[in-house]
Structure 1
Amino acid sequence: MTNLKLGPLEDDKPVKLTIELPAAVFRDLKSYAEILTRIGNATIPIELANLIAPMIERFMATDRAFAKARRNAAQPAPASPERSG
Structure 2
Amino acid sequence: MGKLKLSVIGDEKPVKVTIEISANLYRDLTDYAALLSAQAGQPIPDPKSLIAPMIERFIASDREFSRSRKTERVGTSQPA
- Pairwise CA RMSD: 1.5
Give the alignment's TM-score, normalised by structure 2: 0.82
- Structure 1: any 5+ residue segments left out of the alignment? 76-85
Larger radius of gyration: 1
Residue 3 (structure 2) pairs with residue 3 (structure 1): yes
Structure 1 stretches of 4+ moved >2 Å: none
The count of residues paired between Structure 1 and Structure 2 equals 74
Deviation string 1:34-53 (CA, Å, 9 cap, x unpaired) is 110112111x3201121111
Give me the whole-angstrom Cα distance separating, in 2, the residues matched to 1:68 and 1:27. 34
Alignment of 1:24-39 (within 5 A): 24-39=24-39
The answer to which structure has the higher helix fraction is: 2
Residue 5 of structure 1 aligns with an amino acid whose one-letter code is K
Contact 1:33–1:45, Cα closer than 8 Å, also in 2:
yes
> Sequence identity, in percent?
45
- Structure 2: any 5+ residue segments left out of the alignment? 75-80
